[in-house]
Amino acid sequence: MNDTPVAADGFATLGLEQALVDAVASLGYEEPTAIQREAIPPLVAGRDVLGQAATGTGKTAAFALPMLHRIGRPRDGARPVRGLILVPTRELAMQVAEAVHKYGRALGVRVLPVYGGQAVRQQMRGLERGADVVVATPGRALDLIRRETLRLDEVTSVVLDEADEMLDMGFAEDLEAILSAVPDKRQSALFSATLPPRILAIAKRHLHDPVRVTIANEKTPAGEAPRVRESVYVVQRRHKVAALARVLDMESPTSAIVFCRTRTEVDELAETLNARGYNAEALHGGLSQEQRDRVMRRFRDGASDVLVATDVAARGLDIEHVSHVVNFDVPSSPDAYVHRIGRTGRAGREGVAITLAEAREQRLLRNIELLTKRKMRVESVPTVHDLRARKLQLVRAALEEALASDAGLDRYRTVVESLAQEYDVLDIAAAAVKLAGEAGDGAPPGDEDDIPAVPVPQAREGRPFTAREPHQRAPRVDGNVLRIYVGVGRLGGIRPGDLVGAIANEAHIPSSAIGAIEIADRFSLVEVPADEAERVIKALRGTTLRGKKIAVRLDRGR
């Protein structure tokens, strides 16, 4: 394939109609991306295309511009659907539809997104008014086809975007039914970040002699750092939450997505991060569409800096800039790892991909390295000393900025001048830095101790992770205290007095023996004597709090 850079007017060299070239220029695009350079010319020429490229490489314009070019200016009168774009999620449907609308505005093209979560009658009315291009999720598209509202007999172009994601979400049969309903004489394009056998099988059945376009992962020139820094921290399961907090404190991400395997883990981790001072939001399949939209709006606007999500909930997300991606658990599929980290390091920006792994997960890590053909760097979890040093670095940077701007310092000079009559100026400055470094230093109980390192010797080539994890003991705060997880929090109306009363009355433990209590929105953490922990758990499981049975167990995260 030809990767020779093109000039600033490169879109004009790809065979597109001038109105589309002007449209992309007005949107600020100067040069086509690699996938656009390779895919647009054959699509404009009428060929089918099988494209492999990661998320964030410009795939939308690569298939939307040729589709609009071939559709041209709509005819007067009826507006039959002539272009169909299938995507995995509601959010991606809206994003792609918005992009197609911007590209095709000058041509007068009408675009309609259809997806689950919106009233079907509203979408049916939109189809009755006429749409040139429909961007749809497979389930809703098939529903509208069966209602005989979405008619595909005049479709000339079909695109499957994020095809591997659609198959992972269980849309294989829906895709087959939809593609069977489209005229045989049409142009087809399939784009996917990965091309496993089942994707190739669909391409063989539904694409005619396709041009295959593969945009390889960008190679880093010698002497340059990779665009996405990939790091692995090997920790015991019971220390993962503390390790995550340490790493986030050191990295200071502007926006981070933390991936977990289950809904419960997402909720618990989001609440724990909020308790530690982060603005974290949970995103999983248990949320309503309204809740999901609110979470994404807050994350995009910067009102929250950490998004804790499951893979399914995060599919189709297209967020312009994510500084960090964190795998709280090692993905069981190497392809899932590639999808996850593809959400950072976009558009020339640097990104960071962090994985928290248990020593027993060496095989999963090795499989990822085989797929990506990159070694992941194993790093040590930051120590308390590291965190304090980092805070001092931040204090120094803030001081340098304040000194450089010289803004608002006059009212503080009188304090320094009066102190300077009794103390050395350097001692005064050191005390001020000490106070600034300690401000907000509120690590939760148990975090003052360093997290034990898990040895990961490089045993032999090809086996970078060989240590076995030691037997896990119960998670302790100190030698005599255990922390108990109680599955109800502020949203359930729980107060500290409720927990103290329940434990004292049901487990017959004096209230003075109960330690620190931390109440989050959906759960609470209570410190109790270690030798009484099992009795407290058994007692609370046998009673109700606020009239409800609740989950009680030892806290796994601390």
Partners of residue 233 on adjacent β-strands: 356, 379
Backbone angles phi, psi at 62, to 5 degrees: -60, -35
3-state DSSP call for residue 528? Answer: strand
Q: Tell me, what's the pLDDT at 450?
A: 62
Instruction: Please give the structure tokens belonging to residue 238.
Output: 């019971």
Q: Tell me, what's the pLDDT at 471?
A: 30
Counting Cβ atoms within 10 Å, is residue 98 exposed (0-12), middle (13-18) or buried (19+)?
middle
Partners of residue 517 on adjacent β-strands: 526
With a CB cutoff of 8 Å and minimum separation 6, the contacts of 7 are 13, 31
Specify whether the CB–CB gap between 279 and 305 falls below 8 A: yes
Backbone angles phi, psi at 210, to 5 degrees: -75, 150
Could you tell me which of 92, 115, 236, 68 has the C-alpha nearest to residue 161? 92
Specify whether the CB–CB gap between 483 and 446 falls below 8 A: yes
Instruction: Please give the structure tokens belonging to residue 195.
Output: 């091309």
Q: How far is CA 41 from CA 12, 61, 132, 189, in A?
A: 11, 12, 22, 13
Looking from the CA of 285 toward its CB, the CA atoms found within 13 Å total: 10
Instruction: Please give the structure tokens belonging to residue 241.
Output: 């939450």
Task: Look at the block and give the residue holding tokens 């980092």.
Answer: 390
Q: Tell me, what's the pLDDT at 161?
A: 92
With a CB cutoff of 8 Å and minimum separation 6, the contacts of 483 are 446, 475, 477, 525, 526, 527, 554, 555, 558
Could you tell me which of 207, 216, 163, 191 has the C-alpha nearest to residue 60? 191
With a CB cutoff of 8 Å and minimum separation 6, the contacts of 101 are 109, 111
Could you tell me which of 293, 308, 350 has the C-alpha nearest to residue 91? 293
Backbone angles phi, psi at 478, to 5 degrees: -145, -170
CA distance 557 to 483: 10
Q: Which domains does the chain have, with CATH numbers?
A: 10-214 (3.40.50.300), 228-383 (3.40.50.300), 385-438 (no CATH), 476-554 (3.30.70.330)
What string of DSSP letters covers 302-341? TS-SEEEEEHHHHTT---S--SEEEESS--SSHHHHHHHH
Q: Tell me, what's the pLDDT at 144?
A: 94
Q: Tell me, what's the pLDDT at 467?
A: 32
**Residue type present at position 250:** M
What string of DSSP letters covers 164-233? HHHHHTT-HHHHHHHHHHS-SSSEEEEEES---HHHHHHHHHH-SSPEEEE-PPPPPPTTS--SEEEEEE
| CA R_g for the chain | 28
Backbone angles phi, psi at 101, to 5 degrees: -60, -45
**Residue type present at position 286:** G
DSSP classification of residue 360:
G
* Torsion angle (degrees, nearest 10) of CA 223, 226, 227, 232: -150
Helix (H) or strand (E) holding 519: strand 517-519
Specify whether the CB–CB gap between 266 and 329 falls below 8 A: no
Could you tell me which of 323, 275, 282, 301 has the C-alpha nearest to residue 520? 275
With a CB cutoff of 8 Å and minimum separation 6, the contacts of 250 are 382, 386, 387, 390
In tens digits, the chain (558 residues) has pLDDT values of 333 333 335 788 899 999 999 988 888 777 788 889 999 999 999 999 999 887 667 788 999 999 999 998 887 667 899 999 999 888 788 889 988 999 999 899 999 999 987 888 999 999 999 999 999 999 999 999 999 999 999 999 999 998 988 887 788 899 999 999 999 999 999 998 888 888 999 999 999 999 999 886 554 444 444 578 898 998 888 888 889 988 988 888 888 999 988 888 899 999 989 888 888 999 987 888 788 888 888 888 888 889 998 876 666 566 667 889 999 988 877 777 888 888 887 655 678 899 999 877 877 888 888 888 888 888 888 887 777 777 777 777 777 777 777 667 777 888 888 888 888 888 888 888 778 766 655 444 445 556 766 655 443 333 344 333 333 333 344 457 888 888 888 777 787 777 877 887 778 777 667 887 888 877 888 888 888 888 889 888 888 777 778 888 888 654
3-state DSSP call for residue 357? Answer: strand
Q: Tell me, what's the pLDDT at 449?
A: 58
Q: Tell me, what's the pLDDT at 5?
A: 35
CA distance 330 to 336: 10
